[in-house]
Amino acid sequence: MSLDEHKRNDIEMIEDSEGASQDADTAQEEKALVRRIDLWLLPTIWIMYLLSYMDRTNIGNAKVAGMTKDLGMDSNQYSISLVVFFITYVLFEVPSNLLLSKTKPSIFLPVIMTCWGVVTCCMSLVQSFHQLVALRTIVGVLEAGFAPGILLILSSWYKKNEQSKRFAVFISAAVLSGAFGGIIAGAITSNLDGAHGLQGWRWLFIIEGAATIGWAIISAFILPDFPANTKRLTGRARELAISRLENDNVHTRLDDGPHLTSLQALGQAVRNWRTWIFVAGYMVIVGSSTLSYFYPTLVEGLGYSSHMAQYMVVPIYAVAFVAVGITGYFSDKYPHQRGAIIACWLTLSMICSIVICTVYNFTAQYVLLVFMAAGLWATNGLSLSYAASTFGAMPQETRAVSLALVNALGNLAQIYGAYLFPSTDAPKYLKGFGVISGMCAFGIVVYSSAHVLLRKYAK
């Protein structure tokens, strides 16, 4: 070998070594960046969603604690108080997410959270069914911007194979809020009932609303904005946050780049068939998950007292929490199997729902309810991360609309879901469990199809 050839080989070895070193340095830098994002974002949105879900579902605990009796409400009026929340929630999700995509999360989300916390406190003052309905309507308007906004933020910071674990963390807050809500409701309704002349269910609204207001103020100082406009990162870190997403085919808007109008974003979202397959799938999951509003009632129907029913709800959420965590972990390891994993969980929930209708042993019914809930909660977070990663290549404004449509139209199912378990169907509630069984069967078809189609037409 000649001297020149030796020199060329030495130069190539040095260049390869330098390139490998730079790649290793970038990988370490990216790992540190993700840790920083996790530290700022995940604990903040986790507590926000915990409180949000407690404010949304505490009406179920208040019902068991005597709210409907004190206000002279029947089963149909209680269902109406559930439905009005979802009507405004659905109507305002897309406009809210479009607004968020053009503003800053650190301002928008804490402001709407403070407002619904105030309204929740005001629910302690209601003296009639009509006043309760009016306040629930307002809470629906304000909370409409929260959940789809968080979906947009998570999909704007994390790569596709990082999202399932983060969405699992997000959904776990809703799961634990059910458990905490039961514990808090049991403690408040038993220990504060009659304090200062107020019933226990009124104290429930006061305490949870005040906690929401407090954390909303704190979150304004912690919550990061989007990668392009956050002030919590240096210029180099912002560039790395944007470039790593672009390398994963996740579009993030640059402040100096072109912006889509609201109509353009809406048009792109509704013309994309992927949006509608996730809308159909999420409607199944959310519609089935309206079961959570009736956990205290269903458990009470198994023979437990009012206060004990609040506590017996906790194991249902505890098992669901474990299922959500395990599902999120393995879904990021096998991101191309998300549709199949969702279909499997829905199969379990469908089987449990069918069997509940055929058995009469209270213990067996309770155990089946636990596993049924676990399957539904596990699919909730995974379906959202599945949608967010699929929509990753869309412009940020279009992704905002698509995610809001999935969440909004999915939540339409909660409107009729509020009527699935009327008190007249106690104790078997055959209509409710029958409808949920059918929805799970439809969901199995939808997500099995998504598993095949999205792999075939992946972009």
Tens digit of each residue's pLDDT (9 = 90 or more) over 443-458: 999 999 999 998 887 6
Tokens of 414: 């909660």
pLDDT for residue 357 = 85
Q: What is the Cα–Cα distance from 260 to 251, expressed in whole angstroms?
A: 13
Q: Could you read off the pLDDT of 306-334 as tens digits, one per residue?
A: 666 667 778 888 899 999 999 998 998 88
Residue-level pLDDT at 303: 62
* Residue 218 confidence (pLDDT): 95
Model's pTM, two decimal places? 0.79
Both tokens assigned to 391: 């929509």
Which residues of the chain register pLDDT less than 50?
18
What is the pLDDT, as a whole number, of residue 439? Answer: 92
202 three-class SS: helix
Question: What distances in angstroms separate CA 219 from CA 24, 130, 223, 236, 458, one per listed residue?
Answer: 34, 33, 6, 25, 37
Q: Which of 200, 139, 70, 289 is nearest to 78 (CA)?
A: 70
Whole-Å CA distances, 159 to 113, 248, 251, 329: 27, 6, 10, 15
Q: What is the helix (H) or strand (E) element at residue 436, kind and residue range?
A: helix 430-456
Nearest Cα to Cα of residue 377 among 306, 322, 454, 300: 322
The pLDDT, as a whole number, for residue 397 is 83
**Residue extents of the structural domains in the chain:** 44-456
pLDDT digits (tens, 9 = 90+) for 264-275: 888 888 899 999
Give the up-direction half-sphere exposure of residue 433: CA atoms within 13 A in the CB hemisphere: 24
Topology adopted by domain 44-456: Growth Hormone; Chain: A; (1.20.1250)
Give the pLDDT confidence score for residue 133 in this predicted structure.
94
Predicted confidence at residue 219, as pLDDT, reads 94
Cα 47 from chain centroid (whole Å) = 12
Other C-beta atoms lying within 10 Å of the C-beta of residue 86: 24
